[in-house]
Chains A and B, each alone.
Chain A
Amino acid sequence: MATFEPTLLARIGKPDSQSLETYRKDGGYEGFKKALGMAPVDVINLVKDSGLRGRGGAGFPTGLKWTFLPKDHQGPIYLAINGDESEPATFNNRILMEMDPHQVLEGIAISCHAIRSNKAYIYLRYEYGRSYRALKKAIEECYAAGLFGKNIHGTGFDLDVVLHRGAAAYICGEETGLIESLEGKRAWPRIKPPFPAIEGLFRKPTIVNNIETMACVKQILDRGAEWFKSMGVPPDPNNPRDAGSYGPKLYCISGHINKPGCYELPMGVTSRQLIEEQGGGVWKGRKVKAVVPGGISMGFMTADELDLPLDFNGPGKAGCLGLGTAAVTVIDDQTSMVDVLFNCARFFAHESCGQCTPCREGTAWMHKILTRIRMGEGQIRDLDLLTEVASSMGIIPGTTICGLSDGAAWPIKNAIKKFRGEFEDYINSGLKTVKSAEALMAVH
């Protein structure tokens, strides 16, 4: 740990870190140049060899995803970059886009060459105004410098990058919801298959990748697959589905912590290390009650589970959905888990796209039951009812089109199981923790 040097965040905080000039002084776009001198398949193999898994939340191996594109397709092939980042507590992509946009753009350019795409769309959530302005300027600089456009470096490779702003909807982060939204429609996820690699944006083969993944691709071109694979956690021999967790990772810490922020560490760091070594401990000298490992759809880890590694495999051992976005939210021991769970349920009820009945009805129902409990009108049987509703939402494969319902159900099941006593005490005491502010927000 002591020898670890950040790479993804190496330029953050430097003066003028957003400009092309300083980026090039730091060796920027040399990786892209190197990639252009390689056959696309060799770039794909390099990324495959690095063990890079997508940083957006699902953790699918990036190089493998790229190989799903049809061979010898006459094009167009699209690269759609997911800059929607709306999972509560997640902000790692924002830091990269705002502070080092060229690192992201270089990764995009390299990836386009690898997958033989001449057009990349960056789907950026509207709320990220600073990211929008930084990326817009950086893209203009690239066109002016001949890094984007026609016949780049005389290689015959053309590349256009379009920045596209969303309109504040969580579901646009789901890859096919993103595609639909980019096409000018409501962001209703598509039934798969066909997967986007076969039929995606504008019904053409499309790869959807995350912003941080793009920064990793750039670093892999510069430093090699071995460098990337030298960090992290190898596959768990007891889990045949674990592909290992390699490379540096951006961990966001927020909530009841002294020093919230985005920290780069090798995959496999524990929540305890993050809280104590990076986050400066829990605020007000309090103790941890629970930790969300990577966005609220992942569920909760208790204070006894802080030593589990935060790799792709770790949070699952604590009954969480997975690593998610590695956005660690710290909840102190003075906080009611009933209030926290209500917050999660309200979010998903608001953000369900409404297309599938189990999700639309289930999220609304869970929100209502938790509202009732917080009004002091809950009954013990409500806890079983919540668990029952959560269990019938998308955990059964094929009942919903996308993973939102699963993400909405997981924290409910997980919290009631792990903190049942607290929920029972709350109900039995007739306590009421609804804040006056909520009357204002009653209409969701």
Chain B
Amino acid sequence: MGVLSEELRNQIRALFPNYPNKRAVVLPALHLVQDAERHVSIEAVREIAELLELRPAEVHDTMTFYQFFKDEKHKLGKHRVWVCRSISCMLRGGEELLQHMCEKLHVHPGETSADGKVTMEFAECLGACDGAPCILVDDEAHMNITPEKADELLKSL
């Protein structure tokens, strides 16, 4: 028995019919593992590779290209909060908002709060520019965020 549960393995296997080869399941598999474990360990990379009949280096190569996936040294907290720093948000205070939230949690972007609840990150355009400045909590967008609204959001997590 490896680090991936049988349930996770079955979820990954269930995706095989969607694609003509198993390599295309690399991204969906990494998503499934990271959602469940909050990171993707080297052992998990090996096990994904085995399931997909790839070499671990092939899975690791893909994984590390996308800064989205975190290794064991950068485990995600319970929630991942992204503050957009792209042009429309920057023009309406996105960077100050990021500063405010980082200070509130005593973290730098990319770090997780001491209680393990929130990982703070900056985003390159969340595509919610009509509600700038905007933030993403996990994969749910919240728009027109003021420092006060951000505090409430953090409290609710």
| B139 touching A127, Cβ below 8 Å | yes
Contact A128 B87, beta carbon cutoff 8 Å? no
Q: Which residues of A sit under 8 angstroms from B136, Cβ to Cβ?
A: 127, 129
Quick check: is A1 within 8 A (CB to CB) of the other chain?
no
CA distance A170 to B127 in the complex (A): 11
B65, B90, B129, B139: residue with the most chain A Cβ atoms closer than 10 Å: B129
| Residue A213, interface by CB 8 Å | no
For the complex formed, measure the closest distance between the CB of A437 and the CB atoms of chain B, giving whole angstroms: 4
A residues 97-121 near B (Cβ < 8 Å) are none
A332→B92 CA distance, assembly (Å) = 11
CB-CB < 8 A to A260: which residues of B? 88, 129-132
Within 8 Å by CB of B109, from A170, A262, A441, lies A441
How many angstroms from the CA of A90 to the CA of B130 in the assembled complex? Answer: 9
Segment of A140-148, A180-188, A264-272, A357-365 in the binding face:
A180-188
Query: Does A48 count as interface, using CB distance less than 8 angstroms?
Result: no
Q: How far is the CA of A91 from the CA of B88 in the complex (A)?
A: 11
Give Cα A88 to B110, complex, Å. 21
CB-CB < 8 A to B31: which residues of A? Answer: 126, 165, 167
Chain B CB within 8 A of A175 CB: no
A38 at the interface (CB under 8 A from B): no
Does A167 contact B99, Cβ atoms closer than 8 Å? no
Bound-state Cα–Cα, A169 to B124, Å: 9
A261 to chain B, nearest CB (A): 5
Least Cβ–Cβ distance between A343 and chain B, in angstroms: 5
A126 in contact with B124 given A438-B95, A440-B99 (CB within 8 Å): no
Contact with A along B17-33 (1 / 0, CB 8 A): 01111011111101100
Given the interface pairs A127-B136, A435-B96, the reply to whether A184 lies near B127 with Cβ below 8 Å is no
Is A125 on the interface with B (CB-CB < 8 A)?
yes
Give the docked Cα–Cα distance between A184 and B92 (Å): 36
Contact across chains for B91 and A329 when beta carbons are under 8 A apart: yes
Chain A residues closer than 8 Å to B21, beta-carbon distance: 202
Instruction: Tell whether A296 is near chain B: CB-to-CB under 8 Å.
Output: yes
A91 touches B129 (CB 8 A): yes
Chain A nearest Cβ from B63, distance in angstroms: 9
B138 within 8 A of A: yes
5-55 of chain B: CB within 8 A of chain A: 18-21, 23-28, 30-31, 52
Min CB distance, A94 to chain B, in Å?
5
State how many residues of chain B have any CB contact under 8 Å with chain A: 52
A252 interface residue per 8 A CB criterion: yes
In the bound complex, CA of A183 to CA of B110 (Å): 28
Instruction: Please tell me if the beta carbons of B99 and A169 are within 8 angstroms of each other in the complex.
Output: no
B136 to chain A minimum Cβ distance, whole angstroms, is 6
CA distance A126 to B140 in the complex (A): 10
In chain B, residues 57-82, which have Cβ atoms closer than 8 Å to a Cβ of chain A?
61-62, 65-69, 82
Q: Which residue of A lies closest to B18 (CB)?
A: A162
Beta-carbon contact of B124 and A130 below 8 Å: no
A89 contact set on B, CB distance < 8 A: 86-88, 125, 129
**Given A91-B128, A130-B140, A254-B129: A331 in contact with B91 (beta carbons within 8 A):** yes
Q: A130-B140, A437-B96 are in contact. Are A88 and B87 (CB under 8 A)?
A: yes
Question: Does A255 reach chain B (CB closer than 8 Å)?
Answer: yes
Give the contacting residue for B92; candidates A126, A187, A255, A296; CB below 8 A: A255
Which residue of A is nearest B22, CB measured? A184
Bound Cα distance from A252 to B67, whole angstroms: 28
Question: When A129-B141, A327-B129 are in contact, do A88 and B86 touch as well, CB less than 8 Å?
Answer: yes
Closest to A259 in B: B130
- Say yes or no: is A320 at the interface (Cβ < 8 Å to chain B): no
> Contact between A347 and B86 (Cβ–Cβ < 8 Å)?
yes
Q: Does A238 contact B (CB under 8 A)?
A: no
Whether A167 lies near B87 (C-beta < 8 A) is no
**Looking across the interface, which residue of chain B has its beta carbon closest to that of A170?**
B124
Set of chain B residues within 8 Å of A374, measured between Cβ atoms? none
Does A350 make an interface contact (CB < 8 A)? yes
Asked if B95 and A127 make an inter-chain contact with CB atoms under 8 angstroms apart, the answer reads no
The answer to whether the Cβ of B154 comes within 8 Å of any Cβ in the partner chain is: no
- Asked whether any CB of chain B lies closer than 8 Å to the CB of A164, the reply is yes
Known: A86-B127, A91-B128, A187-B65. A254 touches B25 (CB 8 A): no
B138 near A129 with CB under 8 A, answer yes
Q: Is B102 positioned at the interface, with any CB of A under 8 Å from its CB?
A: yes
Residue of A nearest to B68 (CB): A167
Smallest CB gap from B107: residue in A? A440
Task: Report if A182-B24 is in contact (Cβ < 8 Å); known contacts: A168-B66, A350-B124.
Answer: yes
Q: In the complex the two chains form, what is the Cα distance from A94 to B141 in whole Å?
A: 11
The interface residues of chain A lying within 8 Å CB-to-CB of B122 are 441
Closest to B94 in A: A437
In the complex, the answer to whether B109 meets A292 with C-beta atoms within 8 Å is no
| A63 interfacial by beta-carbon distance below 8 Å | no
B108 within 8 A of partner (CB): yes
| Minimum distance in angstroms from B112 CB to a CB of chain A | 15
Min distance, Cβ B147 to any Cβ of chain A, angstroms: 12
Which of these, A160, A184, A185, contacts B25 with CB under 8 Å? A184
> 4 closest Cβ contacts across the A-B interface?
A129-B139, A186-B65, A184-B26, A437-B99
Please, could you name 6 A-B residue pairs with CB atoms under 8 Å apart, sorted by A? A170-B124, A184-B25, A335-B91, A343-B86, A343-B87, A437-B99
